[in-house]
Amino acid sequence: MDRGSGPDEVPAGGGADNDSELALRLTKLFEVMRKAGAAPLSNAAAAAAITEKTGVSISPAYLWQLRSGVKRNPTVAHLRAIAEFFGVPASYLIDRNTDPAIEAQLNLLQALR
């Protein structure tokens, strides 16, 4: 069954795969960490920017897998590169428990959008 999801899209709600903590955190970063009034980056644009900024090669398909919960064992190098690109500590993506201050800052940014 084709849900219309591909490497440049994030599946809309529901499903156990979409509920992974990493997928939720990545989705939040894509939604919150963008210029005011701008649409969230596509996976393709984010992958290119992450690779350019960090030197760590990452593909749009890989980002889609992480954001949709399909990929469950990402490399620490990729998570660090993604975190660096979005300007958050790597621990936000690597650790199970997040720093409440980081969550509070992201929630504030989200509320201001």
Write down the domain spans for the chain: 17-112
Phi, psi at 60, each rounded to 5° = -60, -40
What are the pLDDT digits (tens) for 26-37? 998 998 887 777
How many CA atoms, within 13 angstroms, populate the side-chain half-sphere of residue 9? 8
- Three-state DSSP state, 70: coil
The set of residues, in sequence order, having a beta carbon less than 8 Å from that of 19 and lying 6+ positions away, is 69
Give me the pLDDT at residue 16, please: 35
Q: Would you list the DSSP string of 46-65?
A: HHHHHHHHH-----HHHHHH
As a whole number of angstroms, the distance between CA 48 and CA 46 comes to 5
Q: Copy the structure tokens of residue 82.
A: 């993604």
Band (pLDDT 50/70/90 cuts) for residue 6 is: very low
Give the Cα separation of 79 and 83 in Å (integer).
6
Q: What is the pLDDT of residue 113?
A: 66
Each residue's pLDDT tens digit, 69-96: 998 789 999 999 999 999 999 998 988 7
Fold for 17-112, please state it.
434 Repressor (Amino-terminal Domain) (1.10.260)
